[in-house]
């Protein structure tokens, strides 16, 4: 029988390895609708698999049921952290895209070219609009009917929360290219509609 600490470590490792295997196989061979949500489902599935293994091997672990449960919760949190910080950030991050674009262009790009690159290349290369609308539809935050995207009550609630957080809790003195600014606490402050947007 393993000691208490090795038992806890083994339970966590078993869960995390199961998650990484399930997540990798899912991403390589099965449909993925929303990277974050599907990763979290993979973590839940791995948790079920790990729990079944632990139940069968429980005689080998020197832990109480409570310690096993806490070990599984720790492993679930680690898997969730991975889901948020690795595939989701790589999939969504403009910062990551800019680094990859620099590599693609041989390691350097003129600073004044970035705005055009984002307008002309980023949107198309990442299928940004279609990918984000798919996520919003799967999250039930918008509906699309007759070519019109409409906010749902759930979407309104999330937008109200994020707007409040952005306005009141994001940094008021954020450095942006050498200057301190609160511009990003209200990105619509100097915004005006350029593109016709009204639904018929």
Q: Taking the domains of the chain in order of start, what are their residue ranges?
A: 4-91, 115-185
Taking the C-alpha atoms of 162, 166, 170 and 171 in order, what is their torsion angle to the nearest 10 degrees?
170
Residue 100 φ/ψ, nearest 5 degrees:
-65, -35
More confident residue, 60 or 122: 122
Q: Are 82 and 19 in contact (CB under 8 A)?
A: yes
Query: Is the pTM here over 0.95, yes or no?
Result: no
pLDDT in tens, 159-193: 999 999 999 999 999 999 899 999 889 988 887 77
Q: What is the pLDDT of residues 107-147, one digit of tens each?
A: 999 999 999 999 899 989 999 999 999 999 999 999 999 99
Based on its alpha-carbon atoms, the radius of gyration of the chain, rounded to whole angstroms, reads 22
User: What is the rounded (10 degree) CA torsion for 139, 142, 145, 149?
Assistant: -140
29-39 pLDDT, tens digit per residue, is 999 989 999 99
């Amino acid at each position: 029988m393993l000691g208490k600490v090795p038992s806890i470590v083994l339970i966590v490792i078993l869960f995390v390895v199961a998650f990484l295997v399930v997540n990798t196989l899912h991403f390589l061979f099965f449909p993925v609708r929303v990277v974050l949500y599907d990763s979290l489902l993979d973590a839940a599935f791995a948790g079920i698999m790990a729990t079944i293994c632990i139940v069968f091997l429980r005689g080998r672990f020197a832990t109480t049921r409570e310690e096993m449960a806490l070990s599984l919760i720790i492993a679930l949190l680690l898997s969730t952290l991975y889901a948020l910080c690795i595939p989701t950030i790589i999939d969504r991050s403009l910062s990551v895209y800019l680094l990859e674009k620099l590599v693609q262009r041989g390691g350097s790009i003129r600073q004044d070219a970035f705005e055009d690159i984002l307008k002309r290349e980023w949107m198309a290369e990442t299928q940004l609009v279609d990918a984000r609308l798919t996520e919003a539809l799967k999250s039930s935050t918008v509906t699309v009917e007759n070519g019109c995207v409409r906010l749902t009550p759930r979407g309104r609630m999330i937008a109200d929360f994020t707007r409040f957080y952005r306005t009141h809790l994001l940094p008021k003195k954020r450095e942006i290219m050498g200057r301190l600014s609160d511009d990003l606490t209200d990105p619509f402050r100097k915004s005006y509609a350029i593109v016709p947007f009204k639904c018929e």
